[in-house]
Amino acid sequence: MSEITKDDILEALKAVTDPISGKDVVSAGMIQGLQTRDGNVAFAIEVPADKGAELEPLRKEAENTVFALSGVVSATVVLTAERPQGSQEQATPQAAPQGGQQTKPGQPVPPQGQGDLLPGVKSIIAVASGKGGVGKSTTAVNIALGLAAGGHKVGLLDADIYGPSMPRMMGITGRPNSADGKTLDPMENYGVKVMSIGFMIDEETPMIWRGPMVQSALEQMMRDVNWGELDVLVVDMPPGTGDAQLTMAQRVPLTGAVIVSTPQDIALLDARKGLNMFRKVDVPVFGIVENMSYFLCPDNGKRYDIFGHGGAKKEAERMGVDFLGEVPIEIEIRENSDKGTPITVSDPDSQSAANYRAIASTVWDKIEKATGGESRAPKIVIQ
């Protein structure tokens, strides 16, 4: 079977007509970021921002047209609304799906007030940080596992589209299965369901995401994944306070947010930015976790407050949020986190695992408070 080329695909797409302009989607300049690799095809169709829902049939038609071509293994088409109508700026989606993945249709961005992204999920918490490298993902993983250890049904969504770390941290390899060719089954390890863009793309794939692509990928990972019934979905947010964070904070009905910070003042300033972002969009901030709070020496078990201690706690008080707990900087945490055996499961009797469980338990109390307990399931339809 000869390799399908971009020209073949564009030729076929000339048969698809944009109902708004009456032109075919290729002549209308709507096809963006077309990629093919081993028969896996991905591209975006640029549409006016307010026409997303209306043009879903167009997306579907384009996807079906490409999927029907001989030599095409999968077709992933998303609608993107990068530019205001009339401007010429291009979106450049860079993530081509690979492997024998079935079709994974993209979804248009639903207008506010529409859509039910996660019907079986009772609560959603975001784990966020103002900047990278503070241990946000490690904390998200161990909180998720701490919640699971508490008997709750837990999912973990890696929203860190730019630097997905959940496959490695949760020790999961392989690709998610799709039984119906439309929705993906989440991966699972240590009793926690996991979804990450890292399952779909190779680590080396350069990812130059633009705002709408990020949004679309995040929404697919919620809507097109069979999360099933969950007590809580823990979302590992991308670091910082940019597009992806705002998307999550605004589009996902977050029950609350947990901010991870190191004790250094500069990190605390960043933490405050994250905090203010959630406050702006009316997401309750459950509190701050101080990570790498002190050094736990493996030789003598002694505690060294190398960054000074108590900064995050004081800062939390000053900002009027709760202090959820502290975690030491410890070789065992790093080693286990990086080899896919998080300390909460690999060494549950350790002090640090106990710290994580205590944090998870506090978080759970706050979830219960925020949702009025499980008997009154929260509304999770986007408002």
Contact set with ligand ADP (CB under 6 A): 129, 132-138, 165, 239, 291-292, 327, 329-330, 333-334, 337-338
Closest approach of ligand ADP to the CB of residue 153, in Å: 24
Q: Nearer Cβ to ligand ADP, position 103 or 291?
A: 291
Q: Nearer Cβ to ligand ADP, position 196 or 337?
A: 337
Helix axes 6-13, 56-67, angle to 10 degrees: 130
Closest approach of ligand ADP to the CB of residue 207, in Å: 16
d(CA 311, CA 139): 18
Q: Nearer Cβ to ligand ADP, position 265 or 338?
A: 338
Q: Nearer Cβ to ligand ADP, position 165 or 215?
A: 165
d(CA 249, CA 274): 11
Closest approach of ligand ADP to the CB of residue 330, in Å: 5
Q: Nearer Cβ to ligand ADP, position 93 or 239?
A: 239
Are the C-beta atoms of residues 378 and 370 closer than 8 Å to each other? yes
Q: Tell me the residue nearest to ligand ADP as measured from the CB.
A: 135
Q: Nearer Cβ to ligand ADP, position 77 or 127?
A: 127
Closest approach of ligand ADP to the CB of residue 148, in Å: 18
Closest approach of ligand ADP to the CB of residue 161, in Å: 13
Closest approach of ligand ADP to the CB of residue 92, in Å: 25
**8-state DSSP, 291:** E
Burial of 282 (0-12, 13-18, 19+ CB in 10 A): exposed
d(CA 165, CA 78): 24
Q: Nearer Cβ to ligand ADP, position 94 or 350?
A: 350
* The pairing of beta strand 232-236 with beta strand 124-128: parallel
Closest approach of ligand ADP to the CB of residue 140, in Å: 7
**CA nearest to 380, candidates 109, 120, 107, 112:** 120
d(CA 235, CA 129): 12
Torsion of CA 312, 318, 323, 325, to 10 degrees: 20
d(CA 84, CA 96): 25
Residue the block writes with tokens 């499980």 = 374
Q: Nearer Cβ to ligand ADP, position 132 or 378?
A: 132
**CA nearest to 328, candidates 347, 299, 300, 351:** 351
d(CA 354, CA 162): 31
Closest approach of ligand ADP to the CB of residue 339, in Å: 9
Phi, psi of 137 (to 5 degrees): -65, -40
